[in-house]
Structure 1
Amino acid sequence: MKQQEQMPSRNHLEKVGRKKKKKWTEEAMERALIEVKSRRCTVRQAAKQFGVPKSSLGDRVSGRVTPGSRSGPAQLITSSDEELLVEFSLYMSKHGFPLTKQQLVSFASSIYKRQHRRVAFSNLGQTWWLNFRKRQEKNISIQLADGIIRGRTVHVRKETVDHFFHLLETVVEAHALGDKPRQMWTCSEMDFHLARKRVLLHKSTPTSRDYISVLACFNAAGKDIPPFIVFSKAYPGGVCYKTQGPPHALYGWSDSGCVTSDLFKKWFLRHFLAYAPKERPLLLIFDGHKSPVNLEVVEAARKEDVLLLCLPPHCLHNLQPLDTGLCSLVKQRFSALLGDSNAANATLFAVTKKDFTGVFKEAYRVVEEDEGVKIVKESFKKCGIYPVSHFAANEACLLSPHSVDPTEGAASGQHVVRGLHAPGSSP
């Protein structure tokens, strides 16, 4: 009968798994390497004389390991790229949208993939994250995300709005944008649910066939960037949707029909920068929590002298100029063109994906009319974006500091990365 193997004790496992401490110095390794290369000693003799591992010395002699390189696992992204990642995190934190751990790891993985295009790889893991935190503990701090920011309520605290206007005022003053409406921009999504037939349903009705979103972008002078139209699931068949659509419009698609992070990058790099005025700097205000901006966008924005500023969550109905007037006007025109004059509050529009762009083109003409330009300008003023004026939001939309449970943020389990800098430092 085979004797049953005895399980190793806990102390034995800890002893086996315990990492060996380095008992030699780089100076001793360099001196041993000099002796071997000058042929005064063999590898074995030099290792014994200077107290360094024979295998490590042999690796340096053969060239498998570069002299002076760090021991242990290789750093997955270079130090310069890691500094860029830290700088990116601090930039995002200062401009109203601090990164979560998942977002930062995703951006680091993008950098790694950019350096190693032929390597089959998904994402960096927990080990890289813990080592990154340890290396950058003097530059960044990890904090629990505010439960309000994570969308646990439809309200928003007054401090969040105050913080946004502090950032806005700081940016406008630092870059002398107070009298330059052409250089202050904002973008927002309009959503359209397409029905199979012309019906009016209550807003809570979940069923629809297709979903289309339109990313509109305007400056405080009422000038627009051609719209970005995003279809759900796939493009319509043929090219008629392009020929019938608004002039110079950009098109894309996603599974949901919403603007994703990759689509926002496509719009910013290929569309916004192409049609924006040549004056610099430009300020672009948007909802970064819905479609998080990525590293390539921030790199391009800083190169092109475009300042990115994120609106606080759950405030679009009060702080987003396009949501307070123009989007509703375009939808009303859209409904009227379909013969649904009472469809201002409907969520379903009886039009196909192929025909959508033609109808939308006619509805979108309002942005060129005096009425549309006037609404855009008044909306910027009403929201306090231009000229900058702290928006006195309705008390029903804001929560006092004492009405929020301090444990609510911890319940969300999310963490964000913030910089270890003075709160009043310039973005």
Structure 2
Amino acid sequence: MAPRRLQYSEEAMTAACTSVSKGTGLREAARLHGVPYPTLRARINGRKSIRKMERTVLGVERETQLTDWLEESARRGFGRTKKQLLSTVQNCLNQKKETTPFKDNKPGEKWYRLFWQRNKEKLALRTPQDLGSQRAAVSEAKIRNWFAKAKEDILAVDPSLLGCPDRIFKCDESGFQLGGGVKRKVLAAKVDKHVYQVSNDIHQQVTVLVCGNAAGELQAPLLIFPGQRFFYDPMEGFPEAHFAKSGNGWIDSEIFAKWLSTGFVPAVAHLQKPVLLFADGHSTHLTLAIHEICKEHNIILYQLPSHSSHIVQPLDLTSFKNLKQAWGEEVMKFKEENSDTLTKQNFSKVFRKAWDRRGHDGDVPKNGFKASGVVWYNYESGSHVKI
């Protein structure tokens, strides 16, 4: 069994050192302030010139980054778990190709316990209040609480944000099926109960990330294609859009971080800071790397309540609804006018037409923010009739 260690704070040790400097004996100072005598003696003799934390595997700077990230994540609604913390440390070490005593560079229980002890004055374990495990559980009281908390947090950072809709953004992503389109009723013989339509059998999708502000301005979309190798230009027909790729066509933390750096940050460079960016609670939206990007560029990344896109998520309420409708119509036109099926190679051309029809309508995102109520952090300003 490991020897029991006396628990004490850095403040207590500092007070004991001060007492000794004023003439109190070492043993008496240790007893009065509840610190170990050998440790106090070593501190007085100068043998502990650096804090214990500085001799950890990660060092002071990176542990400070971690604690800042954990605090900020929880405050913005993206609370991280123990498992996510350990995986984040592992990813950071692997990316920097560092060699550590950890197995596969992933810290274990001992590191976590010591990390907790070193930072227990800043961190605490909390059980988050669930805003609904499913949409049916999203109550009016929970949504009201979210609005009140969001308003309190934003006012604490910059009260001027309340009156600046051009600095309040929301990003959201949705999948667009290749070969898809809105199924419309067709005329057929009355005796035929079942009719068919030739369709593309490629069950893939391109994920589209859309970002707009409460003033009605939309940024160029991000198109995330499935696959890794392209022998053609997938952005042909829509070069203004941003491009990304992943194995399944879905967004991940690296793609979101890159879009944040190369897409969002340049697009808001002319605006007063900070700017506010709402996102859903997906795990890709607040890794340590994303936290550092937001911190560097003065971006407040804030989570909208989970499972509530039908109530308070601005782009879900209007922008994607209109864009999906235009997309379905353009796919139908494409099929009528071409013998080709809709593939990754011609996706951008077709999507551009839908984007130009519905994507640039400034009233669409503006109305979405108004319907959700998040522009003024006011539940009463929204149209929450669906709760």
Q: 1: distance between equivalents of 2:327 and 2:228?
A: 22
Aligned mate of 2:294, from 298, 301, 312: 301
Runs of 5+ unmatched residues, structure 1:
1-17, 35-65, 202-206, 342-349, 398-427
Which of 24, 38, 57 is 1:25 aligned to?
A: 38
Larger Rg: 1
Q: Using structure 2 for the length normalisation, give the TM-score.
A: 0.74
SS in 2 for 1:177: helix
Q: Provide the secondary structure at the position in 2 that maps to 1:317.
A: coil
Task: Trace 1:242-281 onto structure 2 (pairs within 5 A).
Answer: 242-245=235-238, 247-279=239-271, 280-281=273-274
> Partner of 1:162 in structure 2?
144
Residue in structure 2 matched with residue 126 of structure 1 by the alignment? 109
In 2, the alpha carbon distance for the partners of 1:227 and 1:108 equals 31
Residue 155 to residue 208, structure 1, CA distance change in 2 (3 Å): farther
Q: Between Structure 1 and Structure 2, how many residues are aligned?
A: 331
Q: Determine helix, strand or coil for the equivalent of 1:380.
A: helix
Higher relative contact order (CA 8 A, sep 6+): 1
CA deviations 1:219-259 (Å, max 9, x no partner) are 111112211111223354311x22222x4321112233221
The yes-or-no answer on 1:364 pairing with 2:352 is no
- 2:59 maps to a residue whose letter is T
How big is the shift at 1:29?
A: 7.2
The one of 117, 134, 140 equivalent to 2:123 is 140
Larger strand percent: 1
Match of 1:376 in 2: 365
Aligned identity (percent) is 21
What secondary structure is seen at the aligned counterpart in 2 of 1:140?
Answer: coil
State the Cα deviation string for residues 155-183 of structure 1 (Å, max 9, x = none). 32444423321233234434111221111
SS in structure 2 of the partner of residue 99 of structure 1: coil
Where does 1:12-411 land on structure 2 (aligned, <5 Å)?
18-19=1-2, 25=38, 75-113=56-94, 117=98, 121-145=104-128, 151=133, 154-174=136-156, 175=158, 176-195=160-179, 209-234=203-228, 236-239=230-233, 241-245=234-238, 247-279=239-271, 280-339=273-332, 351-367=342-358, 369=360, 372-390=361-379, 394=384, 397=387
Structure with more helix by fraction: 2
- Residue 332 of structure 1: SS of its match in structure 2? helix
Question: Conserved in 2, the CA contact under 8 Å of 1:227 and 1:250?
Answer: yes
CA distance in 1, matches of 2:93, 2:117: 19
- Superposed displacement of residue 137, structure 1: 2.3
Q: d(CA) in 2 for partners of 1:236 and 1:361?
A: 20
> Contact conserved, 1:235 with 1:252, CA < 8 A, in 2?
no
CA shift at 1:25, angstroms? 3.1
Can you give the 5+ residue segments of structure 2 that lack an aligned partner in the other structure?
Answer: 6-35, 186-200, 335-340
**Matched-pair contact (CA < 8 Å) for 2:171–2:210:** yes
Aligned CA-pair RMSD: 3.6
The answer as to whether partners of 1:269 and 1:297 remain within 8 angstroms in 2 is: no
Equivalent-residue separation in structure 2 for 1:317 and 1:153 (angstroms):
8
Question: Take 1:114 and 1:304, find their aligned partners in 2: how far apart are those partners?
Answer: 22
Judging changes above 3 Å, is the alpha-carbon distance between structure 1 residues 394 and 20 closer, same or farther for their aligned structure 2 residues? closer
Name which of structure 1's ranges 310-319 and 288-297 shifts more when overlaid on structure 2: 288-297
